[in-house]
Chain A
Amino acid sequence: MKLLPSIAFNDFSGSAGNVTARKVGDKTYLSSRTQHSKKKTPPQATTRCRFADTIRGFSRITEAQRQGWASLAKVFGIYYSPFGYTYISAPNLFVMANTYRKMCGKPILADAPVEMKRSRNVIYDDLWISPEHIVITKVEQSQDPNEVLFIEMSPAFSRGVSECANKTVFLTVRPTTDWGDIDLTDAYLERFGTPLKYGQKVILKLCWLDSECGFVSRYNRDVFIVSELSLYHDALYYPRARITMDQIVQVTQNCECEGFNYELSPGSKFTSVVITLRYLNFYMLGCDIPHNGLPNAFYDEHSFQYARVTSATEYMIESVKIRIQNSSNKRIRFFHRDLTYRRQLETFGTYYVFN
């Protein structure tokens, strides 16, 4: 509301020029008009550009395409927003769908989809939110290839804050889980810059989102206190015992390791493995690869595994023994149990571990 008469001497509330008047009780307060901050963080700039670009997108589509969105909006009926139930207009439906599609890395959708699949809640077993780890474990797998895990987070400003609505900001999308686990530690640090503190409140919102529709409807949204122990089982966090390329000497005098992912399952001693080796000089019966130190879960483990030769002309079956030594000797030993000489080797699968 813009008031032309002098607002300073009346019971007005509103703005005139750069002055805003607000009435509190029987007093009228004057202040300078609030202006949009020109300062913005890179994520804020990205979000504003994405939103503005999506809004402009609706004016660029054809009239027939607009009618398609209008028809879908009518079918859509009542839409639930954080502020209650409301009807959604065609432009708003277009912006909503395409904003979330963009977050999922999808291009703007000009034609209205046939249907809007709602997002759904995420079922998981446990959750660690600590300064060192933000990890969700045993996340229910999605059967739909279009679904991605859509995650928003926000650290609360104080422990007194419990209202969640509109506090979370986009953190990341994950097309799948890592063996049922989601590690958000790096994504959080990249987004917010500083790690969490013990006792701090954190708002976490997540859902399985159909990335084609971009319709966030049902989701988990809770406030958690940063703690060393897990939320549901009060357990300390132990990272999964794994060996990757970063932990080994990738090129030795005799062989080059082109891929290395060796992981021990918690509980029963099983390993899940993908390893690719190439011998540089000779046809060999085996080789040793030094490592740079491994988690304590490794001591002296053996596994007997199938492998295959990966030359251009044959994929002959092989049998190899892998021995992980992480005590006085710090090396990973490969031995071809069928005594054949090979130049390239690939082993993968899930195997029992002896020690």
Chain B
Amino acid sequence: MITLDTNNFGGGSVTLKDYQSGSLCVLNGKITVDPTQSAYLTAPRLELDLPADFAMVRSALSTAILVSSASVYRYGTVLKC
């Protein structure tokens, strides 16, 4: 588990499961975003700061699924990360 304490969209602390081997790194978790936050509205992209001791030899383009939590239309899309 790794904990990401700071971000640029006014969200709280986030905990992600992490798995690392010599050639593979998988991060999995749920991140809650409040679109009414002023920090979110002014952020050109969403950024979460990884712990200082976290390191990857190399990284590749990955995805995150964004789903609305609205009660009627739970629209979703895919984000690059």
Task: Flag whether A221 is at the interface (Cβ < 8 A).
Answer: no
Instruction: Report yes or no: A317 in contact with B61, Cβ–Cβ below 8 A.
Output: no
Instruction: Report yes or no: B58 in contact with A180, Cβ–Cβ below 8 A.
Output: yes
Considering the complex, give the chain A residue whose CB is closest to the CB of B81: A349
Considering the complex, give the chain A residue whose CB is closest to the CB of B58: A180
Within residues 51 to 81 of chain B, which ones have a CB less than 8 A from any CB in chain A?
Answer: 56-63, 65, 75-78, 80
Instruction: Report yes or no: A307 in contact with B61, Cβ–Cβ below 8 A.
Output: no
CB-defined contacts of B78 to chain A, threshold 8 Å: 306-308, 315, 317-318, 348-349
Task: Flag whether B1 is at the interface (Cβ < 8 A).
Answer: no
Give the CA-CA distance A179 to B63 in the complex, in Å.
17
Give the CA-CA distance A191 to B79 in the complex, in Å.
40
Q: C-beta contact mask, A99-136 vs B, less than 8 Å → 1, else 0?
A: 00000000000000000000000000000000000000
CB-defined contacts of B75 to chain A, threshold 8 Å: 314, 316
Give the CA-CA distance A113 to B28 in the complex, in Å.
42
Instruction: Report yes or no: B57 in contact with A350, Cβ–Cβ below 8 A.
Output: no
Task: Flag whether A15 is at the interface (Cβ < 8 A).
Answer: no
Considering the complex, give the chain A residue whose CB is closest to the CB of B59: A141
Q: Which of A179, A308, A314, A348 contacts B58 (CB 8 A)?
A: A179
Within residues 5 to 47 of chain B, which ones have a CB less than 8 A from any CB in chain A?
Answer: 23-24
Instruction: Report yes or no: A138 in contact with B57, Cβ–Cβ below 8 A.
Output: yes
Instruction: Report yes or no: B63 in contact with A306, Cβ–Cβ below 8 A.
Output: yes
Instruction: Report yes or no: A349 in contact with B77, Cβ–Cβ below 8 A.
Output: no
The SS class assigned to the B binding surface is loop
Q: Interface segment, A61-69, A182-190, A267-275, A284-292?
A: A267-275
Instruction: Report yes or no: A348 in contact with B77, Cβ–Cβ below 8 A.
Output: no
CB-defined contacts of B57 to chain A, threshold 8 Å: 138, 140-141, 180
Instruction: Report yes or no: B63 in contact with A348, Cβ–Cβ below 8 A.
Output: yes
Task: Flag whether A10 is at the interface (Cβ < 8 A).
Answer: no
Give the CA-CA distance A316 to B65 in the complex, in Å.
11
Q: Given A308-B77, A308-B78, A349-B63, A268–B58 Cβ distance below 8 Å? A: no
Task: Flag whether A220 is at the interface (Cβ < 8 A).
Answer: no
CB-defined contacts of B58 to chain A, threshold 8 Å: 138, 141, 177, 179-180
Give the CA-CA distance A314 to B65 in the complex, in Å.
15
Give chain B's interface residue range (CB within 8 Å of chain A).
Answer: 10 to 19
Give the CA-CA distance A307 to B61 in the complex, in Å.
13
Give chain A nearest CB distance to B44 CB in angstroms: 15
Give the CA-CA distance A138 to B23 in the complex, in Å.
11
Task: Flag whether A265 is at the interface (Cβ < 8 A).
Answer: yes
Considering the complex, give the chain B residue whose CB is closest to the CB of A315: B77
CB-defined contacts of A265 to chain B, threshold 8 Å: 23, 60
CB-defined contacts of A348 to chain B, threshold 8 Å: 61, 63, 78, 80
Give chain A nearest CB distance to B21 CB in angstroms: 9
Instruction: Report yes or no: A267 in contact with B23, Cβ–Cβ below 8 A.
Output: yes
Give the CA-CA distance A283 to B55 in the complex, in Å.
44
Q: Which of A307, A308, A350 contacts B62 (CB 8 A)?
A: A350
Give the CA-CA distance A267 to B62 in the complex, in Å.
19
Instruction: Report yes or no: B65 in contact with A306, Cβ–Cβ below 8 A.
Output: yes
CB-defined contacts of A315 to chain B, threshold 8 Å: 77-78
Give the CA-CA distance A180 to B57 in the complex, in Å.
8
CB-defined contacts of B56 to chain A, threshold 8 Å: 141
Write 27 A-B pairs (CB below 8 A) sorted by A numbering: A141-B57, A141-B58, A141-B59, A180-B57, A265-B23, A265-B60, A266-B23, A267-B23, A268-B23, A268-B24, A270-B24, A272-B60, A274-B61, A306-B65, A308-B78, A314-B75, A315-B78, A316-B75, A316-B77, A317-B76, A317-B77, A317-B78, A348-B78, A350-B60, A350-B61, A350-B62, A350-B63
Q: Which 8 A-B pairs have the closest CB atoms?
A: A349-B63, A180-B58, A315-B77, A272-B60, A317-B76, A306-B78, A308-B78, A350-B60
